[in-house]
């Protein structure tokens, strides 16, 4: 089977490549940006048809994180990438696209959100708006499925700004863990996410959109306490602002109804694995950026228009 993964060097795609190489004998096509310009429609056409692609896993996009909070005009760019891929629906067996909890609108609390709840209102931010457009389109397709992610975490993610990795590294450096404002998330460990993605490669989806999540809420203070619990150093936990930010949690009944029993990795076990990874790579990390904590200054803007 020929599988084309866009966004080859991203967090999810990096893990997917390792997972597939370990579990299957697929032929993987994972071009870098210099090898394939996804913004160029003709290049994408030639690549997909020329390599006789069976399945496309589209992870490439810009925006959506603390490091891109000031990015403008990302909607048009991301939509071109998406539609350059989506137009090949009839040329492949299936296309797996990735949505986001941002589709529900981060300007308001997102609590135990079901898949169709995104229809109630449009997001105010560019990233959420772009993702919502793709979901609306995918609802009308035959061979595209939208897998909506709320908070995936794990090894290889950008420790400079992703909260769990950032907090683990701070603990390893014997630094305080600083939280702008506490908030409840629905975090899923990358190993569990990969198994869910694999399910949609092996099986035909009954619906068009699925929340890939644990369906359980956990707040940043609780995660920080787990990091301290599994460490021989106890970082001070600093909370800059009292109260809670907008919740960001989802309902995962739809996917579990198709997958059946699914055992999620506990946050404690996931953090132990991640701590071991970052500990062995500590000398390669940018400690000065961690100490500066530049993204903490803009995190609050992610929850506003």
Tens digit of each residue's pLDDT (9 = 90 or more) over 92-121: 999 999 999 999 999 999 999 999 999 999
Is the Cα dihedral 67, 71, 74, 77 positive or negative? negative
Please give the model's pTM, rounded to 2 decimal places.
0.92
Q: Is the pLDDT of residue 299 over 60?
A: no
Helix axes 126-138, 74-86, angle to 10 degrees: 20
- Give the separation between CA 250 and CA 296, rounded to whole angstroms: 25
- Give the separation between CA 28 and CA 8, rounded to whole angstroms: 10
pLDDT digits (tens, 9 = 90+) for 160-174: 989 999 999 999 999
pLDDT at 300: 53
Backbone angles phi, psi at 92, to 5 degrees: -130, 170
What's the pLDDT band for 301 if we cut at 50, 70, 90?
low
Read off the tokens for 25.
Answer: 């004998």
pLDDT at 281: 96
pLDDT at 241: 95
- Residues in a beta bridge with 5: 57
pLDDT at 297: 62
Helix axes 163-172, 267-280, angle to 10 degrees: 60
Report CA-CA distances (Å) from 102 to 44, 214, 248, 250, 266: 27, 17, 9, 11, 24
Minimum mean pLDDT range among 32-41, 50-59, 69-78, 286-295: 69-78
Percent over 70 (pLDDT), the chain: 93
What's the pLDDT band for 66 if we cut at 50, 70, 90?
very low
Note whether 217 and 251 are within 8 A (CB): no
Q: Is the pLDDT of residue 212 over 50?
A: yes
pLDDT digits (tens, 9 = 90+) for 70-92: 445 789 999 999 999 999 999 99
What's the pLDDT band for 10 if we cut at 50, 70, 90?
very high
Which distant-in-sequence residues (6+ apart) come within 8 Å of 258 by Cβ? Answer: 199, 203, 205, 206
| Half-sphere exposure in the Cβ direction for 137 (13 Å, CA) | 18
Give me the mean pLDDT over the 62-70 stretch.
52
Q: Is the pLDDT of residue 302 over 50?
A: no
pLDDT at 71: 47
* Average pLDDT score over the chain: 93
């Amino acid at each position: 089977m020929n599988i084309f993964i866009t966004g080859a060097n991203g967090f999810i795609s990096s893990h997917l490549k390792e997972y597939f190489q370990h579990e299957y004998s697929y032929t993987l096509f994972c071009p870098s940006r210099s090898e394939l310009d996804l913004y160029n429609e003709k290049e994408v056409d030639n690549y997909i048809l020329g390599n006789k692609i069976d399945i496309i896993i589209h992870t490439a996009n810009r925006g959506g994180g603390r490091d891109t909070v000031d990015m403008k005009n990302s909607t048009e760019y991301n939509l071109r990438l998406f539609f350059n891929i989506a137009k090949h629906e009839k040329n492949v067996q299936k296309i797996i696209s990735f949505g986001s909890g941002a589709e529900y609108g981060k300007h308001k609390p997102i609590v135990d959100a079901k898949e169709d709840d995104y229809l109630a209102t449009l997001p105010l931010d560019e990233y959420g708006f772009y993702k919502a457009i793709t979901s609306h389109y995918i609802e009308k397709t035959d061979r595209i499925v939208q897998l909506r992610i709320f908070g995936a975490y794990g090894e290889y993610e950008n420790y400079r700004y992703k909260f769990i990795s950032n907090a683990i590294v701070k603990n390893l450096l014997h630094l305080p863990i600083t939280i702008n404002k506490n908030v409840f998330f629905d975090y899923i460990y990358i190993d569990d996410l990969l198994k869910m993605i694999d399910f949609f490669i092996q099986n035909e989806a009954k619906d068009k959109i699925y929340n890939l999540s644990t369906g359980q809420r956990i707040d940043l203070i609780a995660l920080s306490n787990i990091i301290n619990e599994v460490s021989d150093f106890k970082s001070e936990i600093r909370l800059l602002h009292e109260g809670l930010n907008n919740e960001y949690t989802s309902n995962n009944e739809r996917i579990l109804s198709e997958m059946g029993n699914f055992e999620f990795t506990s946050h404690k076990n996931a953090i132990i694995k991640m701590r071991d990874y970052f500990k062995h790579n500590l000398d390669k990390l940018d400690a000065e950026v961690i100490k500066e904590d530049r993204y903490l200054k803009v995190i609050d803007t992610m929850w506003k228009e």
